[in-house]
Amino acid sequence: MKKIDRILSLIAIAVILFTAATGCAPKRANIIEKVRTAIIEQWKLPFDSLYLQKNKLPDAVVYLPAPPDTTSEIFKEDYNRWLWGKTVRPTPRGKQASIESLYGIVRMCTIYSEVLGLKIDSQKTPAIYRFMLYVGETAHQSTAHAKETYMRVRPFARAGEKVWGEFDYDELRNNGSYPSGHTALGWATALALVEVAPKLQDTILRRGYQYGESRVIVGAHWQSDVYAGYNVASAAVAAMHNSPRFIAHLEAAQEEYNRLTTNQNSPTTTRHKKAKSNAFSLPHDGKILDTLLIKRDGDINRYPSLGRKNKTVEEKLFSMVSEELQRSNYTFIQPDINWAFALIGAEIEPRNQDNILQRGFDYGNYLGNKSKDPTDLIQARRILASAVVASLHTNPKFMAMLAKVKAIHQSTHSYSPYSLYF
């Protein structure tokens, strides 16, 4: 570690001395120091820092559609959102997006230290730090195959511009845009931290959502890339729940958080005021929020098993999911309930996870399109569904039923509960 630090220091000094001759040393030196700090921190990444290897993770090439064609209606919305991002850059939200363009555990620690009211780092909160690091890197790995397959051109590159933001550089031109890796990192971290600090779930989710939205503002990703990143993150977190290491790290992070926050005089407490628990809202903070929160009448009887009195444990589990979605959202639950069921089904049957996720995603699209809902509303419901599923993982009753269903499937390998709903 010290050797790496010395090498990076020498590189930074060399660059600073070189730029001094051009008259822009102070600004460049500041940038180099930030980059140097980030690289050093990332070198702390363990070599086995994934909860699941690539071949065990859900494959986004299978369960998500290809990125939209440039002649499609979805791409028109992508373009409009790119223009919107440009208007936000001069604002405080734009400054936040610039800061959030730093990838990895460094920025996750900064964001969630404020949210959790703790100074998160590898020394003061080692269990939380390790948990966040592993979750983020595993989720990011879930985007790799799709990125390499599609190699979608990023907005700033298509426009012949430079990416806007503090930490992203021109090498992004050669990196696929779909799905967004930053978004997968930020949203997966948020979903996982909901299980660590459930009382702060709204604030945690809001910050995780904004981290993805920032990618549109800085011009590094199209909106559809970001939506795909949220979906990849939720699928990856579902898969991680079948990793014994994930469960062990989660329990250690929960214990550490509870211990440190119980002691009000803990030296790890930040000087910031704890973040206000603003209600989690989707998407775009106002664009279609009113539409999203309208209570609508829906035909819940389309899911026959939900109305029966004598339900199996599988039916009780999925009934609980639908009831929570209605409580948290609205009675019109077509696209989101299918994605929520898919996430739970993928956790129950990891061997069939890609097929389950594909069916849930496609059927949600079918029902949403049948109702003539805009694409961003359908995607917003999926994001909300993943948040509800994360919250349910803090409910002892739900977790007890989930464990029973998993045990049934491990012993029979025959019955598929998601077939009741898709």
Tell me the C-alpha to C-alpha distance, in Å, between residue 324 and each of 12, 231, 340, 359, 396: 52, 20, 11, 21, 14
What are 202's two structure tokens? 């709204």
CA distance 221 to 152: 10
CA distance 285 to 278: 12
215 is catalytic: yes
Identified catalytic residue from 81, 207, 215, 393: 215
225 is catalytic: yes
Q: b/e string for 387-415 if b means 16 or more Cβ within 10 A?
A: bbbbbbbbeeebeebbeebbebbeeeeee
What DSSP state is assigned to residue 67? Answer: P
Q: 4-10: long-range contacts (C-beta < 8 A, 24 or more apart)? A: 4/40, 4/43, 5/40, 8/36, 8/39, 8/40, 9/36
Our measurement of the distance from residue 294's CA atom to the centroid of its chain's CA atoms, rounded to an integer in Å, reads 25
CB neighbour list of residue 43: distance below 8 Å, 6 or more residues apart:
1, 4
Question: Whose CA is closest to 252, among 196, 191, 204?
Answer: 196
145 is catalytic: no
Question: For the CA atoms of 57, 59, 63, 68, what is the dihedral angle to 10 degrees?
Answer: 140
What are 258's two structure tokens? 């509870």
Residue 319 near residue 388 (C-beta atoms within 8 A): no
Q: What is the DSSP string of 38-60?
A: HHHHHTT--TT--SS-GGGS--H
Task: Read off the amino acid at residue 76.
Answer: K
Identified catalytic residue from 59, 168, 202, 225: 225
182 is catalytic: yes
Identified catalytic residue from 81, 182, 206, 393: 182
Identified catalytic residue from 107, 152, 221, 359: 221
CB neighbour list of residue 273: distance below 8 Å, 6 or more residues apart:
none
Residues noted as catalytic? 182, 215, 221, 225
